[in-house]
């Protein structure tokens, strides 16, 4: 079961902003929907080739470094295991096995460190990064972190020193802002520090009912992100995750909102709006209302027909 955790900083923010509260504080009804959702919508367990390493797409692999986060988002795609820190703890042998697997697969050129939030375990992050940056096959490193939102004070020297290990490869930091009220002066400070050690900061957001399913909110979010030097990268349709049903926005509404955003914002501020196909077969860009298209069905990268999952959601 997904734990609840809030830093004092975030607790203050949740008191000020109901949308942020909704992201992090469970409701009474959490997990009581009966929509056709999945524990593991991105079929990561099936693609786990050695403990902690998911290899789903040929040239890149995902490393789940920890199940720890500074705060636990109620809509998390990995809520089946995130916050179970003991179960997610990697041993030295697990790390060696991951290195061995990557070496045996020279087609892997890019590594994404995620979890949990790998930035919450800087000692481990440094140790593992040191092993992988040495491999000549690795051309790109990505590290995902929600710390600028969940606890900006944790963006400290120790973390920055861990990230500085990446010298030969470009380091892309994948941050995760969902609402403009998350862009506080503390968050901006944390972002500035990260910008000193990373090649680029990219933002991933999710359409979330009751949080950001609104043209004005997303318009402000993406505009502000560009102003602080973060490129909005992906806007996802919420994965059909068991326990996160109430966050799913009706698909037609998302398309309507995003069509308005595309009209209003500069290309730099517009992320790619995608559905992460709930069978692990790719991030499918959703068409907008500039076209006539089927709002109920789509195809994954393999041509398989899929139906859009709608939540029976309530707030």
Check: CB of residue 224 under 8 Å from CB of residue 240: no
* d(C-alpha 13, C-alpha 20), whole Å: 7
Per-residue DSSP letters for 51-114? Answer: TTEEEEETTEEEEEEES--SS--TT-TTTTTTT-HHHHPPPHHHHHHHHHHHHT-TT--EEEEE
Shortest gap between Cβ of 179 and ligand SF4 (angstroms)? 14
Which of residues 177 and 298 has its CB atom nearest to ligand SF4 in the complex? Answer: 177
Structure tokens, 311: 């939540």
For ligand SF4, the closer CB: 244 or 255: 244
Buried b vs exposed e over 223-258: b needs ≥16 C-beta within 10 Å? bbbbebebebbbbbbbbbbbbbbbbbbbbeebbebb
Nearer to ligand SF4, 135 or 233 (CB): 233
Q: Are 23 and 178 in contact (CB under 8 A)?
A: yes
Is residue 155 a contact residue for ligand SF4 (CB under 6 A)?
no
Judged by CB under 6 A, the chain residues 255 through 284 that form the site for ligand SF4 are none
Specify the pairing of strand 297-299 against strand 200-206: unpaired
Q: Residue 146 interacts with ligand SF4 (CB under 6 A)? A: yes
Degrees, nearest 5: CA angle 139-236-190: 65
Q: Which residues 73-92 are close enough to bind ligand SF4 by CB under 6 A?
A: 73, 76, 78, 82
Between residues 10 and 269, which has the closer beta carbon with respect to ligand SF4?
10
Residues 109-138, one symbol each (x = binds ligand SF4 by CB under 6 A, - = not), give: ------xxx---------------------
- Closest to ligand SF4 by CB, 68 vs 169, is 68
Asked if 5 contacts 71 with a C-beta cutoff of 8 angstroms, the reply is yes
* Minimum gap (Å) between residue 262 Cβ and ligand SF4: 25
Q: Which stretch binds ligand SF4 (CB under 6 A): 30-38, 72-80, 126-134, 304-312?
A: 72-80
Minimum gap (Å) between residue 90 Cβ and ligand SF4: 15
Binding footprint of ligand SF4, residue count (CB under 6 A):
10
Interaction site with ligand SF4 (CB under 6 A): 69, 72-73, 76, 78, 82, 115-117, 146
């Amino acid at each position: 079961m997904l734990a609840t955790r809030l830093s004092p900083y975030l607790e203050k923010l949740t008191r000020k902003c109901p949308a942020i509260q909704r992201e992090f504080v469970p409701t009474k009804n959490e997990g009581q929907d009966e929509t056709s959702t999945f524990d593991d919508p991105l079929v990561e367990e099936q693609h786990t080739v050695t403990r902690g390493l998911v290899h789903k797409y040929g040239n890149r692999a995902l490393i789940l470094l920890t199940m720890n986060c500074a705060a636990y988002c109620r809509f998390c795609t990995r809520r089946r295991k995130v916050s179970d820190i003991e179960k997610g703890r990697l041993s030295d042998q697990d790390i060696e096995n991951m290195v061995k697997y990557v070496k045996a697969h020279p087609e892997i050129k890019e590594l994404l460190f995620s979890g949990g939030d790998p930035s919450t375990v800087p000692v481990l992050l440094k140790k593992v990064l040191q092993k992988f940056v040495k491999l000549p096959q690795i051309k790109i490193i990505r590290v995902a972190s929600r710390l600028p939102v969940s606890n900006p004070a944790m963006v400290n020297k120790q973390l920055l020193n861990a990230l500085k290990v990446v010298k030969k490869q470009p380091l892309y930091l994948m941050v995760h802002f969902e609402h403009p009220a998350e862009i506080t002066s503390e968050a901006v400070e944390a972002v500035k520090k990260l910008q000193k050690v990373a090649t680029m900061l990219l933002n991933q957001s999710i359409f979330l009912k009751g949080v950001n399913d609104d043209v004005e909110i997303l318009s402000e979010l993406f505009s502000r992100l560009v102003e602080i030097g973060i490129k909005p990268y992906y806007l996802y349709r919420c994965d059909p995750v068991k326990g996160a049903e109430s966050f799913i926005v009706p698909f037609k509404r998302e398309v309507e909102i995003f069509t308005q955003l595309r009209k209003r914002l500069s290309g730099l501020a517009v992320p790619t709006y995608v559905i992460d196909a709930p069978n692990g077969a790719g991030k499918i860009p959703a068409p907008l209302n500039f076209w006539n298209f089927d709002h109920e069905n789509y195809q994954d990268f393999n041509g398989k027909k899929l139906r859009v999952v709608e939540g029976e959601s309530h707030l």
